[in-house]
Amino acid sequence: MTDDAALYDAVVMLGFGGPEHPDDVLGFLERVTAGRGIPPERLAEVGRHYFIRGGTSPINAQNRAMRDALAERLAARGVGIDLVLANRNSPPFVADVLADLARQGRTRLLAWATAAYSSYSSCRQYREDLGMAVEQLDGTHVDVVKMPPFPDLPGLVEANIDLLAEVLRQTSGSRELLVLATTHSLPTALAATAGPEAGRSGGDLYTAQQRALVERVVPEAAARAGLAVVPEWRLVYQSRSGAPHVPWLEPDVNDAIGEAAGAGVTDVVILPVGFLTDHVEVSWDLDTQARQTAEGLGVTTHRVPTVGAHPAFLDSLADLLAAYATNAGRAPGPGELCRGDCCLNPRIQRPVADAVHLP
Ligand SMILES: CC1=C(CCC(=O)O)c2cc3nc(cc4[nH]c(cc5[nH]c(cc1n2)c(C)c5CCC(=O)O)c(CCC(=O)O)c4C)C(CCC(=O)O)=C3C
Ligand SMILES: [Fe+2]
């Protein structure tokens, strides 16, 4: 936006990042895991997932496609604001993007991250990425505020319903069917701080947000697929790292498949609610590893795609971005979903960028 009335000079779209070349893999993994106590065996194993596919993660290309799809939709809504990609763990790094924007005189920035739920890794750490980048700018004053997570976004719900219904239609002849909604596991200590209520009502908004989403998605998808009974579902976790003695959210998707097989389930539908695009954690952990687990037990898997390219999701996200970018006539205030110590990692003390919330 160029007119003086505009609130922001650009929208910074924050991605996790990923390697795009074999030479980038080790540096990427070192950045992700610096100071996090990830065992070397786990790191070697995860490195293998990237090298097997030529040392490239699809995540950056997927985020570029999402950015283009959103930019088109913002333009169609008459919101003339640039969407600029910036990553935590691979170029273009957040600090470099903010420095570039500052050099261009674009110093009032709105940020949104490609992560829908509240937790340290999926929300606050992105605010830290921004906070540290701002601190490094020395000289220029940049104002950046991050949008809160969007677990209730109508298009997130609708896209998950539509994609799950399509898979359920194809499985309607199955005898015993179970839906496993999967999301990234977290150390239980970080799950406990997820959300603004951390320390007061026990936190773990991360799990609660995703459970609430799946609760809405499964019955409606079953109805649209014409199933006579609503299939059972469980929220399960994937991609655990960290040392074995540190507790993380469970059950792991592979263990859940084992339990299901033991209980006579013949078909498992895997719904990756925790992620927006089919990046390496989705494709390796679900399409390779979990699928192998299931095959070994005689269980058939049916994987639902992630929502990142679904028009209902993109339309709805564009509406949300447009509302924030124009502020829909309201003054920016402190974030309701992101306030104080919400999503804090008690082991880490870093500057954080502010968060905004539409009242
Ligand atoms: C909540 C969450 C999301 C979802 C929200 C969001 O998207 O932001 C997410 C996304 C992603 N995680 C990714 C990759 C990795 N995550 C790791 C490690 C970790 N993730 C964690 C959490 C999350 N991660 C945590 C608590 C750790 C332990 C270390 C730490 O405390 O930070 C490691 C280290 C090796 C290992 O797996 O042990 C890798 C390589 C990729 C890129 C995939 C690609 O390249 O295509 C993506 C999108
Ligand atoms: Fe991760």
Q: Which tokens belong to 4?
A: 């003086």
Ligand 1 atom having least distance to the Cα of 114: 7
**Does residue 185 have a known ligand-binding role?**
no
Which residue among 13, 31, 33 has the greatest number of ligand 1 atoms within 8 angstroms of its CB, and so is best to mutate? 33
Same structural domain, 273 and 347: no
Q: What is the chain's length?
A: 359
Same structural domain, 204 and 262: yes
Amino acid in position 148:
P
Residue 321's pLDDT is what? 92
Q: How far is 174 from 25, CA to CA, in rounded Å?
A: 41
ipTM of the complex: 0.95
Q: Is residue 3 part of a domain?
A: no
pTM: 0.94
**Nearest-5° Cα angle at 239, 238 to 240:** 95
The H or E element that residue 302 is part of is strand 300-303
Q: Pick out the chain residues at pLDDT < 50.
A: 1-4, 199, 201, 329, 331-335, 357-359
Which residue among 146, 150, 281, 288 has the greatest number of ligand 1 atoms within 8 angstroms of its CB, and so is best to mutate? 281
Q: How many domains does the chain have?
A: 2
Report CA(269)–ligand 2 centroid distance (Å). Answer: 22
Same structural domain, 159 and 299: yes
Query: For residue 155, what are the contacts with CB-CB under 8 A and spacing of at least 6?
Result: 307, 310, 312, 313, 314, 315, 316, 317, 319
pLDDT tens per residue, range 319-353: 999 988 887 645 444 445 566 678 888 888 888 88
**Does residue 120 have a known ligand-binding role?**
no
Ligand 1 atom having least distance to the Cα of 126: 8
Residue where one domain finishes, among candidates 303, 320, 342: 303
Residue where one domain finishes, among candidates 269, 284, 303: 303
Which residue among 16, 66, 286, 348 has the greatest number of ligand 1 atoms within 8 angstroms of its CB, and so is best to mutate? 16
Residue where one domain finishes, among candidates 303, 319, 345: 303
Residue 1's pLDDT is what? 41
Residue 127 backbone phi and psi in degrees, to 5? -65, -35
Same structural domain, 31 and 128: yes
Q: Which tokens belong to 257?
A: 């498949």
**Of 183, 182, 189, which Cα lies nearest the Cα of 120?**
189
pLDDT tens per residue, range 121-172: 999 999 999 999 999 997 888 999 898 899 999 999 999 999 999 999 999 7
Residue 229's pLDDT is what? 92
Residue 6's pLDDT is what? 74
**Unique residue bearing structure tokens 């790094």:** 93
Same structural domain, 25 and 158: no
Same structural domain, 129 and 195: no
Report CA(240)–ligand 2 centroid distance (Å). Answer: 8
Same structural domain, 189 and 126: no
Q: How far is 237 from 153, CA to CA, in rounded Å?
A: 22
CATH number for the domain spanning 59: value is 3.40.50.1400
Same structural domain, 237 and 278: yes
Same structural domain, 105 and 205: no
Domain containing 97 equals 10-150+310-355
Q: Which tokens belong to 189?
A: 């200590």
Residue 240's pLDDT is what? 93
Amino acid in position 227:
L
